[in-house]
């Protein structure tokens, strides 16, 4: 007996095949969608990571730069305080001191020389032994980009800065220029003189102006010690008022 397939069975098989095909296509489409979404997530994650790392890198660089600037300002402030203390010790203790001058045939001469670019003076210095004495002499001047001080323990102060009697000390660096002015009283008015010349008395005060390489500038004004030339007891009055 010959077998003849039923049309209904053929229809059911075709429908099953179609369903299987549609299921396969839908599965592939679903799988493709899932893969594409995962790639976008990876791209977004990498982008966020790069952004965060860039922000951290820039932040770290800014913090390091700020820290270096803070350290630089701190070092500059410490150097300024050290210079201020040194100038205060030197200039506030300047005293009138005479010593026999060989050029004047041994006659005593004031051991003070005030010029616009340098100054030489005697000052009171603390001591530990009586034989060391309490008077030192010093010269302040600029050498290249440094403010230096030459100290001499015994008078007179030598003209040769390479003398063994001198001790050199650097007070400040990165100096553009240094200028000295000296306070005097003329006609009951305070004036500042750049060159003290050959006056036989001490200035009331010494003004030092320091201009730094970075453009900043500072002034130090210190009253000298032992300058009673213009002092008087009682209330200060101008001569023209006293004469009336």
Q: What is the pLDDT of residue 244?
A: 43
Q: What is the pLDDT of residue 147?
A: 94
Domain residue limits, the chain:
92-233
Beta strands in 38-145 (DSSP E): 94-95, 98-100, 108-110, 113-114, 118-124, 135-143
Whether the CA torsion 100, 103, 109, 112 is positive or negative: it is negative
CA-CA distances (angstroms) from residue 215 to 50, 135, 175, 176, 211? 41, 36, 10, 8, 7
Cα-atom radius of gyration of the chain, to the nearest Å? Answer: 44
> Can you give the pLDDT of all 244 residues of the chain as single tens digits?
555 555 544 445 555 555 655 555 555 555 444 445 577 777 888 888 888 888 888 878 777 877 777 777 777 778 788 889 999 999 999 988 888 877 767 778 888 999 999 999 999 887 777 766 788 999 999 999 999 999 998 888 888 898 988 999 999 988 999 999 999 888 878 899 999 987 888 899 999 999 999 888 899 999 988 666 555 555 555 554 444 4
Q: What is the pLDDT of residue 48?
A: 86
Q: What is the pLDDT of residue 65?
A: 79
The residue among 8, 12, 171, 206 whose CA lies nearest residue 81 is 171
- Assign 137 to helix, strand or coil: strand
Q: What is the pLDDT of residue 211?
A: 93
């Amino acid at each position: 007996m010959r077998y003849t397939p039923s049309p209904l069975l053929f229809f059911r098989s075709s429908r099953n095949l179609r369903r299987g095909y549609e299921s396969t296509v839908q599965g592939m489409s679903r799988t493709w969608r899932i893969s594409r979404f995962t790639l976008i997530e990876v791209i977004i994650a990498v982008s966020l990571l790069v952004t965060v790392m860039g922000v951290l890198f820039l932040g770290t660089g800014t913090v390091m730069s700020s820290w270096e600037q803070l350290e630089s300002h701190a070092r500059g402030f410490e150097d300024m305080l050290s210079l201020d203390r040194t100038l205060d010790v030197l200039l506030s203790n300047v005293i009138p001191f005479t010593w026999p001058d060989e050029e004047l045939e041994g006659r005593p001469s004031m051991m003070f020389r005030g010029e616009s670019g340098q100054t030489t003076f005697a000052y009171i210095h603390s001591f530990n032994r009586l034989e060391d004495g309490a008077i030192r002499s010093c010269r302040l001047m600029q050498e290249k980009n440094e403010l230096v001080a030459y100290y001499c323990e015994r008078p007179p102060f030598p003209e040769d800065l390479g003398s063994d009697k001198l001790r050199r000390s650097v007070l400040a660096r990165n100096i553009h220029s240094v200028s000295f002015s000296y306070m005097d009283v003329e006609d009951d008015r305070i004036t500042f003189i750049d060159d003290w010349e050959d006056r036989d008395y001490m200035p009331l005060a010494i003004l030092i102006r320091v201009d730094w390489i970075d453009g900043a500038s500072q002034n130090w004004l210190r009253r000298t010690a032992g300058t009673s030339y213009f002092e008087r007891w009682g209330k200060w009055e101008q001569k023209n008022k006293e004469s009336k």
